[in-house]
Amino acid sequence: MSPSRPTPFPSELYGGRLTIDLEAIADNWSFLDSKTDARTECAAAIKADAYGTGQDRVAPALFAAGCRTFFAAVPTEAIELRRLLPDAVIYVLDGLFPGTAEHFLEHRLRPVLGSLEELAEWSDLCKAAGQSFPAAVHVDTGIHRLGLSATQFADVMTDKAFLGPFEASLVMSHLACGSAPDHPMNRHQLDRFRQITAPVPHIPKSLANSAGILMGPDFHFDLVRPGIALYGGKALDNAPNAMKPVARVEARIMILRDVPQGDTIGYGATQTAPRPLKNAVVAAGYADGMLRRASSSDGRPGGFGMIGGHRAPILGRISMDMITLDVTDVPPDLLARGALVEMLGPDVAASDLAAYAETIDYEYLTSLGRRFERVYARLS
């Protein structure tokens, strides 16, 4: 079952619930769009099933909000997106896989060409068809993943064998350290991008992801490509998160039990009860995107859930299907078998959980809730 399709079972059969706020996602796009001026288009990165929130629901909501250009990662994502949005411009960030150009044409997709081999294949296709098909060209400004080198780009721009049959619809690069706005790499990449693309002022340009948008107009150019911020994630490490939360994960309490002081909890006996505790075991685990690295032990604290505004720390290791929470200090009237505990959402930010798990909120969002009931509704 695709995680973005309506869930087919009664609510009470699920171990938890994933609620996604489409209006909040649209509001986040509008907020980011407002950060740019009239000459800059605000697109949307919608890869990984819209960062785990459900592409089939999110894409139409963003299009209704005014977004017209979308970025997928791989061709299969883009083909599904085309079925949803027949009139959108759709780029494929991972470029042109060998022998797939005809599929791009069939579905009116634009590859982001990041190597001489990809450029040659696309150019040959256009030459054979006698028609120019749009594509983006990716230049590397320092992240050393995809993209042409500065020398390759300069050569390509003057080589009719490459760009004679078609003209790039976009020239783009990607920031390596955008989440740390004071990092010197950001200014270095901006300067490199300006230098590399100066000979092609007529081609639209794109450098900014979510962080780049929030770093100001120097990074905006002609098109910005927000991703994590659309889905409520924290784009800048050193600033408060201005985005609306868009998802809430709630896990069902299966059992409440007392644990004597000195007894251990969970696999590996890594957590010892420092006092008599009351525990709640909830039906969520790392198979549901609750990352095991956020476990607690005697040597380090783990993540937490929230019950009626009260913090419930994780106790011991997160297992595949369940998590144990310390509910000793939660009012008893909030605790009941079958009750739902917020494990991520407005009161438990993904970025906070990510800090405990020594990762980033992207990993939480893209891993969430494949076994949960999925609901599309306002969070507030």
Q: What is the CATH number of the domain that holds 252?
A: 2.40.37.10
Could you tell me if 33 and 142 lie in one domain? yes
Question: How confident is residue 276, by pLDDT bands cut at 50, 70 and 90?
Answer: very high
Beta strands 41-42 and 310-313, pairing class? unpaired
Inside any domain, residue 371: yes
Domain presence at residue 343: yes
The answer to whether residues 227 and 257 belong to one domain is: no
Residue 159 and residue 270 in one domain: no
Q: How far is CA 127 from the centre of its chain?
A: 37
Could you tell me if 120 and 192 lie in one domain? yes
Same domain, 190 and 113: yes
Instruction: Answer yes or no: is pLDDT of 52 > 70.
Output: yes
Beta partners for 312?
Answer: 305
What pLDDT, in 10s, does the model give residues 199-236? 999 999 999 999 999 999 999 999 999 999 999 999 99
Q: Which amino acid is at 150?
A: A
Segment 17-28 shows an average pLDDT of 97
Residue 4 lies in a domain: no
Rounded Cα gap, residues 275 and 261, in angstroms: 4
| Domain end point (choices 199, 231, 263) | 231
| Domain membership flag for residue 105 | yes
Q: Determine the pLDDT at residue 2.
A: 41
Please choose, from the candidates 87, 84, 105, the residue with its C-alpha nearest in 3D space to the C-alpha of residue 96. 105
Task: In whole angstroms, give the CA distance from residue 34 to residue 132.
Answer: 33
217 and 257 co-located in one domain: no
- Please report, to the nearest 10 degrees, the dihedral formed by the alpha carbons of residues 60, 365, 179, 172 taken in order: -40
E-strand stretches of 289-359: 304-307, 310-313, 323-326, 340-344
pLDDT at 6: 55
Query: Is the four-CA dihedral 251, 257, 262, 265 of positive or negative sign?
Result: negative
Residue 241 falls within a domain, yes or no? no
Q: Do 222 and 266 lie in a common domain? A: no
Average pLDDT over residues 128-145: 94
Q: Tell whether 177 and 255 lie within a shared domain.
A: no
Residues pairing with 139 in the sheet: 148
pLDDT tens per residue, range 55-105: 999 999 999 999 999 999 999 999 999 999 999 999 999 999 999 999 999
Calculate the alpha carbon distances from 153 to 120, 213, 327 in Å. 13, 25, 59
Domain count across the chain:
2
pLDDT for position 158? 83
Same domain for 344 and 222: no
The CATH number of residue 96's host domain is: 3.20.20.10
Residue 369 has pLDDT above 80, yes or no: no
User: Cα separation of 257 and 260, whole Å?
Assistant: 10
CA distance 255 to 62: 40
Evaluate whether 318 touches 295 at the Cβ level (below 8 Å). yes
CB 175 within 8 A of CB 142: no
Residue closest to 341 by CA, chosen among 293, 304, 316 = 304
Domain boundary among 180, 197, 231: 231
Instruction: Classify residue 356: in a domain, yes or no.
Output: yes
Domain that holds residue 95: 22-231
Regarding whether 179 and 49 lie in a shared domain, the answer is: yes
Last residue of a domain, one of 231, 263, 285: 231
Query: In whole numbers, what is the pLDDT of the chain averaged over residues?
Result: 94
Q: Cβ(194)–Cβ(207) under 8 Å?
A: no
For residue 9, tell me if it sits in a domain. Answer: no
* pLDDT score recorded for residue 380: 79
Model pLDDT for residues 139-196, shown as the tens digit of each residue:
999 999 999 999 999 998 888 777 778 889 999 999 999 999 999 999 999 999 999 9
Going by pLDDT thresholds of 50, 70 and 90, the confidence category of residue 3 is: very low
In terms of domains, do 220 and 252 share one?
Answer: no
- Sheet bearing 205-206, strands edge to edge: 44-45, 69-72, 89-92, 110-113, 136-138, 170-172, 205-206
Q: Please state, in angstroms and rounded to a whole number, the distance separating the CA atoms of residues 169 and 133.
A: 9
Look at residue 295 and tell me if it is in a domain. yes
Strand pairing partners for 277? 259
Provide the pLDDT for residue 161: 72
Residue 8 has φ and ψ, to the nearest 5°, of: -95, 0
251 and 227: one domain? no
10 Å Cβ neighbour count for 105? 14
Which positions are annotated as active-site residues? 47, 267
Q: For 66-75, 162-171, 315-324, 342-351, which range has the lowest pLDDT when averaged over its residues?
A: 162-171
The partner residues of 113 in beta bridges, in order of sequence, read: 137
